[in-house]
Structure 1
Amino acid sequence: MKSTLKIYIFLMLALSALSSKAQEPDSKVTISGTVKDNQGNAVEGVSIFIQEKASNNLTAKDGKFSISVTGNDVIYFKKQGYNLVQKPALELDGAVVVLTLSLIDAGDDDDVYIPFGIRKKRSVSASISTIKGSELPQLPLSTLTNSLSGRLPGLYIKQSGTRPGTDDASFLIRGRSSYNSGQAPLVLVDGVERDFVNMDLNEIEGISVLKDAASLSWYGMSAANGVVYVTTKRGDAVKTKVTFDAQGGAQTPINITSPLNSFQFANQSNQHALNSGLPLVYDQTALDAYQSGSDLVNYPSNNFVDRFIKDVAPVQRYVATVSGGNAFARYFTLVSLFKQDGLYRGAETPDYNTNSNYKRYNFRTNLDLHINKSLDVKLDVGGRVENLQYNTAGNGTFLNTIYNTPSNAFPLLNQDGTFGGSSLFRNNPLAMLTANGNNNDLSRTLLATVDVKHKLDFILKGLSANAFYTYDITSAYTYGFNQNYEIYSSTGGGTFERFGNSTPLQYKSSDFNNNVRGNEFWAGLDYDRTFGLHDVKFSTRLLRSVNAAPGRLDYKRQAITNRLSYSFNNRYFADVVAAYAGSENFAPGKRYGVFPAVSAGWILSEENFLNKVKAVNYFKLRGSYGIVGNDDLFANRFSFNNYFTRSSGGYNFGTSFGAANGSAELTLGNPNLTWEKAKKASIGFDGQFFNQSLQLAFDLFHENRTNLLTTDILPSIIGQSVSLINNGEAQYKGFEMAMGYNKTFNKVTVGINGNFTKSKSKIISISEEIGLPAYQSQKGFQIGSVIQGGDFIRRFLVSDGLFQTQAEIDAAPVQRFSGLVRPGDIRYKDQNNDNIIDNLDFINTNYSDVPDTYYGFGTNVKYSNFDLSVQFQGVAGRTIQINNLINSTSASANYVNQFSTESWTPATAATAKYPLIALNNRGNNTQNSDFWLRSGDFLKLKNLEVGYSLSSSAVKKLKVNAMRFYVSGFNLLTFSKVSELGIDPEIPTAGFNSDYPYITTFSAGVNLKF
């Protein structure tokens, strides 16, 4: 396969050289032809442009033209009201050039990218939302996903990280209909399964979100969760274009923990001891010393957060692009540098740096070769080099140390310059940064694509053969320094106890790991033909893909996919899509399935009953229905097989005293495992009103998903656990809408955008324990859970305030989550009326971290040379928990943190926000209950950008085509119901526990065009 591909590329390049020589591109020739519309009428006054030249010719009354060109020229035909047409010069002599009227949603800027095809928005009957790369904000972010927040209907984006190089986000399209996974959509770049989060913004031509069966069935059992379809920029032969962007900015932490000082910590520790009936932890001498700060050696007072977290960290981004071409080749090339520094203070040593820094280089070249009239080739090469740096202990351990180590635990440095510490607290943050080594993760990614199209008009006009092959490889290399430190704890009288052993600086063992190769091969036929008012397009492809890595079996897929599109009079549209796809996740003989879908569109505004309504310029009704699959079942690979492992005890045979190794059977396989089957239905409309100034889109959608994995409830008499079975069912339904308004008022141009999505899920079938109380059943509830640490919680106790007196405790049901219940503890409701609060009183709920409503809105304003853009994102129907924030510290820190001052005491009983905190018998107050739940709804000003473009006279003097200066901000404002807690509702643990702080980004930049 590889050798054949190489030979084919060599032949194409040879053909290109021979073709160029034969055509003598530098010699002048005169060509003539005729321009007509799609009705066959001659078109007068069409402007004819020659690439890179100032010439401008017009067609005569009879549509004829005659111009002098070279073989390398590309000719452009342009007239108001018609779509632009471009043709290689040497294909025009004697030809008839057909111009198509620019119908609404069928203009030059109305392309919609679908799998291995391009359609005008007018002809799309599936549910697809799109955004151009030029509409996205210029933000210096290490991942692109967050720049999409609040911009597309049906697409929910939740930021899930903030650390340099890992400020990722999760996607959800429309809703959840599976309780086995987060339902992450398939991400495709130029039709290939690739991650796009680490691409540079200037690589992106556009992003489409494919949401219904008609747009997803092409991918068979890979796309039931939706598709994010990214297209990259390509060269334009009209004119050579050179751009350069430079951005510099600052990132500042917000909503970070505020540790108590030593005096506050000591007071709270004493209060917790009193609550527990234990002796005081600190005497008055210690309290006085902490308050006065008179003896920082024996009574230290640290603020580790202020000491080790900076107020600001720099971020930089530089991008250069070059694009252009001629009749035979077009190219787009990009190189970029992104650099993001971490927030750790004092992390740089003479030998290494332990800050959480990230650096990335991106590169891309997309090349389009027009070999001859019948053969076109695309050669794309892209990739990146990334370096992520961090301290040896790991960011989580380091942050947990500075957030949760008591301020009085030890002095950072003893009087003799050694590192301070204690038997309880052996992590010294200063030593972790300066004497513990560092790690560097270097990854390299290469993405290559060959796309060949050969016209077969000699067989059937409009027929072409296509081959598409990718070679993607990612390698990871880890290196760094090793070093260990020792700490010294004062034992009084000038003596110290040592913990740990210091080791000299040395290189770590370098390691190549996570080397992954991916290949996709698509081959097939396309047919594109117009017969009068009838337009027919057909595509068929064979797919074979492989994903390989050392130490595991390859992942493989194969499929045959087909799509038939028909339109009549550019008014009625229909599509039929079907895929026959297979997955190795299932037993032989049960690996393949058929995934069909249909869609239709009708432009009502061109019918007699509506075309005279002046307010309605365009109105299209569309709908779709089909079946898509999902083979990512969140189960072990090859779960259809039975597996055995070496037994731990072994067996004795004969007179031997030693046991011989035996084997033990693992979880039983399920040979009947199959994919999830998603039946998707969608109906909606697209409309433009009031001279196309107002655009509206609306969709109703419903999905029913069957064959969900669930446990197999069988008697335990066989003494063996069994595999999961496809016996679950769930659904979601809802609606989405999008709005756009654009209008010019004198010198001010205003654009307004908005989108809104409402989706609700429901569990229809799931295996549950026999005898489960009805109030603990998940059936009928929505899919979702509240995240606590790594757990997903659905069942909660129902709280009923706090106990205020012992009499209340005596009169209430017995609470068995703690050995002792005291005034100030949480009171729970008895759900089964047995006068006991235990595990039978947890109830299933609809609380979920995933919102049922998400929306976005913004505006763009232009006046003179100034421009302003603002974008908001909001969510509703979302729940977060604060249990692991309020109860974040351990017994070694006496369970004291910044929230402890608002816990219950006899003196604060009337105003306390949180229950009593004690050093013992704490189980009652740390249970999963609605006491710790809060609204996770929010509205965020996601980004704001203000720009100024120099006037044409000014840029002429600078010898550039355009220059724009701009300032931007990201994550600028948040409105929520948890703002008083000082936490972010999107990532509640950011800046707490062991998570990197939430970040606001400010930047300034300049864009140059040459």
Structure 2
Amino acid sequence: MKKTVLTMFLMVFWVSSMAQNIKVSGHVSDQENNDAVIGANIVIKGSNKGTITDASGNFSLSVTDGATLVISSVGYNTTEVIAHASILTIKLSSTNNSLNEVVVVGYGSQKKANLTGSVSQFKADDLIKRQVGTTSNLLQGIAPGVSVWQGSGKPGADAPTINIRGTGSIFSGTGPLILIDGVVSSMDNVDANAIESVTILKDAASTAIYGSRAANGVVLVKTKRGGKDGIKVSYNAFVTQQVATNIPEKVSAVEHMELSNVAQRNQTGNPNAYVFPQALIDKYKNSKPDNLEIFDNDWVKLLLTNSGIMQNHNLTIDAGSEKASLFTSVSYLNQQGLIPNNSFNRFDLRLNPDIKINDKLRITSNLFFNQTTRIEPAGSSPEFIIRQAIGLPATGPAKFGDGMYGDAGQSNRRNPLGQAESSGTYRVSTPTFLGKATLIFNPVKNLDIEASYAREQWFPNGKRFQKNYDVYSPNIANKTYDFIAKYPGTNSLSETYSTNVRSTILAQATYSYKRGDHEAKILGGFQTEELTASSIGASRTDFVNENLPYISLGGANRDNSGSASEVALAGFYGRLNYVYKDKYLLEVNGRYDGSSRFSQALNQQWGFFPSASAGWVFTNESFFANAVPVIKFGKIRASYGVLGNQAVNDNYPFASTYTSGTDYYFNNTINQGFALTDAANAGTTWEKSTQMDIGLDLVLAKRLSITADYYSRQISDILLKKPIPSYVGLGPALVNLGKMENRGWEFSATYRNKIGKLKYDVTAVLADVKNQVLELPGVPYLDEGLLRSAVGNPLRSYFGYKAIGFYQSKEDITSSPPTFFTPNPGDIKYADINGDGKVNADDRTFIGNSFPRYEYSININLAYGIFDLNIFGQGVGSKENYISGTGAYPFYAADFIPSLLAIHKDYWTPENPNASFPRLMPTIGINSTNSSFWVKNSAYFRLKNVNLGAKLPEKLAKKLGMNSARVYVSGQNLFTITQFWKGFDPEINNNSAEFYPLMTTYTVGLNLKF
């Protein structure tokens, strides 16, 4: 009996020991892209016991050893695993990849299927197919509603203007808030190879949590972090040849002389008048240029002699385990400009370490160092030097030998070649340091507490030393060159040093809840930011030795300057997400923000900015499940919210400003004085943006994804300087007065499929926004010369006379209404808009919209075997653009004696009544009046990028010690279709020919992984 009892006891003990509980931890991720799957259900099969994954895709659960775990998540195929190890790595295959994307949002992340706001996200692979010197240019054309305009190709200064859903202010900041790993920074500080994803938040639902910083949208850049699978190394490099996309064609020396004579005869009325005698013209025709007496200089060709080579090298190291990981990125970019003495280089080092202290505590860090150096000629900006080369006549002496510059036919003797090559150097260097540490604590299940501190410091310093260069004149008799002067005659040195420090403190908590059909997430936090800036500058002239450019060695003429400022922000923020049955979605956001830019005395510093949004996944309804089988996913969403804008150009609009220099005589002594300059307004407060969005997301047949939005942005309390009587003696104060509106729509569609071994996807984007000024109380209009803002019209519309052709004859002039000038046949004729029988300033009207309409892009990806091809095109359906100055007017005199362009040869004569340009005159005169004649539609389509790559066969790559290797060739800005003026880029606004051309690039590159 004792043996039987003992045997039964041992069996029970053995069974119980075999069925003992173990603690299982795991990570659930997407099988295709390794993204964490948030909120996945992990349930013990045959029971209702389970848990969900956290924001990082991790979970832990006590189970019986050998139990079966069922893992499921919306949009993924359900899978089962046996719980036999303490750590599980689980990959879920997607039923629809796009819906399961984890999208970075404000202070967190969400599944794309559950989003109720207007959000666009792009992975690294979507960005690195285009090789650019400035990372922010990669945003052009990738998302609907995001306008990206590159106005210059100058190395280190080619960052674009970015507007999300139109412009958000008149004189305050209009650019989006850009955050790099949660810290305010410039996107151009990040090498594209270090980016994991870029998320663009466009409506109030997605941006309200950032409050007063988010009125113009938000761009979230997430950099890569270390993995858990050992060490991975990648090397990415490219070499690019840059050439000018557009440069206007010039006339030859002979054409310049002949057309100068035509202009002189038109002005004087004397058919025998001339500037250049016919004998000289004949000599030019019958002789070759000798660089002594006869010149035919192509100034642009002589100037654009720099290599234009750009190269980029990037090395990344991804190392880690379950306990610790590190992502390291080292990059170097060198970009040579088109003109001599013009370049940009950037070095950056990024370290992203992560440490897991235990199951409840993690520390993540971001360490970043960046050094940029931009070099330009000291004598003039590259843009002006190029404009002078475009405008100078071919008859001007250019260069006779090494360092022997001609006077370019100019009375001031300024020579663009001398300015570029020998006027000295302007160097701007900016070292940037950033450190951020984040502590993430998980005290109980589904609760994450996070605290972080970030500090960024950057120190721009500039040194401009303008040297003299020698100018020579031909001595025809002796066939030599005589020294005539030094230009500019006085050398000078200026230096500036700036210090900027931004500190950010953040504390927040996130709690996730899921039970049955209910799923919720609550987030709350507090953030402060402080920015201090100071600068000091000094300058001096008359240096005896130009080889010793030090301030202390200059002459008696000296100057200095300095400035300092502080700005502080603080905010409390929160968000509630609720999902019921994966069908009904609700989100509420809010932020209570304070800004030091507004008066504390009148309680203007704080403002509350809320938003609410909702979504309905109608395809999850039982009545719809089989009704339209082609629609695999469908969601309707709507949002409404109010945002603020505190990006005022003045850090202290509530305080009066003073200026020094008003010295006064008192007590037999001259004393330094100060005087009030601008009035103050303690009532100044936030500009406000009230936004509404309605959107639709569809997935058809698992291959076609469609997103469409309609939105309205009404911007009120716009800060303007309201005029005050002149007898007050002060400049006007900022007052919250104006109101305007942006209304628009967006559409994007992506189709993915394959034909045999050929995989392809096509993405099309189309968007439009219409701007209108609604109110300007007490201000009839805002006049900015060519541009005017008035109620009922788009902001900054072109304003001037309406051109109705040319005066064709004396009879035409006599029969036309009298005008504000004395016309001649061939002059531009203007309309009598108000019908009062005369043409004067009262007939000026709005003649064009400076905002683009119908922006679009198309992106095509093809992959076949080892080959891949990307084709990206971008354009604008309608946009009015204006040309002026050297770019528009023949013989336009602006700081130099001018010539004319090849397009100007189509000028008015009685035999050419429908010409492109008015009659030739030695100076453009009255025909340069702002008018619709100079407005032209600059709609365009541009083949923005083509990238063709090939991978080494996997076996060959392994033999060479690599996991993979890819080589590619690519081209950027390959061609443009437009009806805009020939030689002028339609992307550059209000073109006066003082521009640095955008670049057409040809690239060879490679990507290696080890």
TM-score, length of structure 2 as denominator length: 0.84
> Structure 1 residues 621 and 470, CA, compared in 2 at 3 Å: closer, same or farther?
same
Shift of 1:327: 1.2
CA distance in 2, matches of 1:358, 1:587: 42
Residues 867 and 946 of structure 1 are in contact (CA less than 8 Å); yes or no, is this contact kept in structure 2? Answer: yes
What is aligned with 2:792? Answer: 781
What is aligned with 1:365? Answer: 351
CA distance in 1, matches of 2:726, 2:403: 65
Shift of 1:396: 2.8
Residues 403 and 470 of structure 2 are in contact (CA less than 8 Å); yes or no, is this contact kept in structure 1? Answer: no
Matches for 1:854-1003 after TM superposition, within 5 Å: 854-884=855-885, 885-887=887-889, 889-890=892-893, 895-899=898-902, 901-919=904-922, 922-978=924-980, 981-987=982-988, 993-1003=993-1003
2:644 corresponds to which of 629, 632, 645: 629
Query: Are 2:313 and 1:302 equivalent residues in the alignment?
Result: no
Shift of 1:511: 4.2
What is aligned with 1:281? Answer: 275
What is aligned with 2:431? Answer: 444
Matches for 1:314-393 after TM superposition, within 5 Å: 314-344=309-339, 347=340, 354=341, 356-393=342-379
> Structure 1 residues 271 and 768, CA, compared in 2 at 3 Å: closer, same or farther?
farther
Identical-residue share of aligned pairs (%): 26
Query: Are 2:458 and 1:474 equivalent residues in the alignment?
Result: yes
SS of residue paired to 1:260: coil
Read off the aligned partner of 1:285 and give its amino acid letter.
A
Residues 715 and 739 of structure 2 are in contact (CA less than 8 Å); yes or no, is this contact kept in structure 1? Answer: yes
**Which blocks of at least 5 consecutive residues in structure 2 are unaligned?**
1-20, 29-39, 48-61, 535-562
**Which blocks of at least 5 consecutive residues in structure 1 are unaligned?**
1-29, 45-58, 67-75, 348-353, 786-792
Read off the aligned partner of 2:808 and give its amino acid letter.
Q
> Structure 1 residues 661 and 43, CA, compared in 2 at 3 Å: closer, same or farther?
same
Matches for 1:192-231 after TM superposition, within 5 Å: 192-231=183-222
What is aligned with 2:104? Answer: 113
What is aligned with 1:245? Answer: 236
What is aligned with 1:569? Answer: 581
What is aligned with 1:17? Answer: none
Shift of 1:572: 2.2
CA distance in 2, matches of 1:203, 1:722: 47
Read off the aligned partner of 1:365 and give its amino acid letter.
L
Read off the aligned partner of 2:516 and give its amino acid letter.
G
What is aligned with 2:255? Answer: 264
Residues 768 and 777 of structure 1 are in contact (CA less than 8 Å); yes or no, is this contact kept in structure 2? Answer: no
Deviates more, 1:931-940 or 1:422-431: 422-431
Read off the aligned partner of 1:445 and give its amino acid letter.
T
Shift of 1:125: 1.1
What is aligned with 1:672? Answer: 683
Deviates more, 1:884-893 or 1:470-479: 884-893
Residues 752 and 857 of structure 1 are in contact (CA less than 8 Å); yes or no, is this contact kept in structure 2? Answer: yes
SS of residue paired to 2:564: coil
Residues 849 and 936 of structure 1 are in contact (CA less than 8 Å); yes or no, is this contact kept in structure 2? Answer: no
Read off the aligned partner of 1:729 and give its amino acid letter.
K
Read off the aligned partner of 2:438 and give its amino acid letter.
D
Residues 789 and 795 of structure 2 are in contact (CA less than 8 Å); yes or no, is this contact kept in structure 1? Answer: no
CA distance in 2, matches of 1:206, 1:417: 53
What is aligned with 1:543? Answer: 527
> Structure 1 residues 449 and 103, CA, compared in 2 at 3 Å: closer, same or farther?
farther
> Structure 1 residues 661 and 451, CA, compared in 2 at 3 Å: closer, same or farther?
closer
Query: Are 2:837 and 1:827 equivalent residues in the alignment?
Result: no
Matches for 1:386-401 after TM superposition, within 5 Å: 386-393=372-379, 394-401=381-388
What is aligned with 2:812? Answer: 808
What is aligned with 2:414? Answer: 427
Read off the aligned partner of 1:886 and give its amino acid letter.
A
CA distance in 2, matches of 1:760, 1:449: 40
> Structure 1 residues 906 and 114, CA, compared in 2 at 3 Å: closer, same or farther?
closer
CA-to-aligned-CA distance 1:838-859 (integer Å, 9 cap, x gap)? 22111135x2232122111121
TM-align CA RMSD: 3.6
CA distance in 1, matches of 2:110, 2:417: 59
CA-to-aligned-CA distance 1:218-267 (integer Å, 9 cap, x gap)? 11111101111111111111343211112122112232122222211111
Shift of 1:836: 2.9
> Structure 1 residues 61 and 945, CA, compared in 2 at 3 Å: closer, same or farther?
farther
Deviates more, 1:718-727 or 1:366-375: 718-727
CA distance in 2, matches of 1:829, 1:86: 80
SS of residue paired to 1:257: coil
CA distance in 2, matches of 1:466, 1:232: 19
Shift of 1:462: 2.7
Query: Are 2:469 and 1:485 equivalent residues in the alignment?
Result: yes
Read off the aligned partner of 1:836 and give its amino acid letter.
K
Shift of 1:533: 2.8
Shift of 1:714: 5.7
Read off the aligned partner of 1:607 and give its amino acid letter.
E
CA distance in 2, matches of 1:252, 1:985: 17
CA distance in 1, matches of 2:105, 2:142: 20
Read off the aligned partner of 1:948 and give its amino acid letter.
A
CA distance in 2, matches of 1:549, 1:222: 19
SS of residue paired to 1:299: coil
Aligned residue pairs total 920
What is aligned with 1:7? Answer: none
Residues 210 and 228 of structure 1 are in contact (CA less than 8 Å); yes or no, is this contact kept in structure 2? Answer: yes
2:501 corresponds to which of 514, 517, 520: 517
Shift of 1:768: 5.7
> Structure 1 residues 629 and 343, CA, compared in 2 at 3 Å: closer, same or farther?
same
What is aligned with 1:795? Answer: 799
Shift of 1:434: 4.1
Read off the aligned partner of 1:960 and give its amino acid letter.
M
CA distance in 2, matches of 1:599, 1:80: 22
Residues 886 and 899 of structure 1 are in contact (CA less than 8 Å); yes or no, is this contact kept in structure 2? Answer: no
Residues 818 and 838 of structure 2 are in contact (CA less than 8 Å); yes or no, is this contact kept in structure 1? Answer: yes
> Structure 1 residues 596 and 281, CA, compared in 2 at 3 Å: closer, same or farther?
same
SS of residue paired to 2:400: coil
SS of residue paired to 1:730: strand
SS of residue paired to 2:768: strand
CA distance in 2, matches of 1:905, 1:1001: 38
Shift of 1:565: 1.5
Query: Are 2:1003 and 1:1007 equivalent residues in the alignment?
Result: no
What is aligned with 1:534? Answer: 518
Query: Are 2:485 and 1:499 equivalent residues in the alignment?
Result: yes
Residues 414 and 487 of structure 2 are in contact (CA less than 8 Å); yes or no, is this contact kept in structure 1? Answer: no
Shift of 1:647: 7.7
Shift of 1:824: 0.5
> Structure 1 residues 593 and 769, CA, compared in 2 at 3 Å: closer, same or farther?
closer
What is aligned with 2:615? Answer: 601
> Structure 1 residues 385 and 99, CA, compared in 2 at 3 Å: closer, same or farther?
closer
Query: Are 2:552 and 1:558 equivalent residues in the alignment?
Result: no
Shift of 1:993: 2.8
> Structure 1 residues 132 and 417, CA, compared in 2 at 3 Å: closer, same or farther?
closer
Shift of 1:715: 5.7
Matches for 1:845-856 after TM superposition, within 5 Å: 845=847, 847-856=848-857
What is aligned with 2:591? Answer: 579
CA distance in 1, matches of 2:189, 2:287: 48
CA-to-aligned-CA distance 1:686-712 (integer Å, 9 cap, x gap)? 11111x111111111112121112343
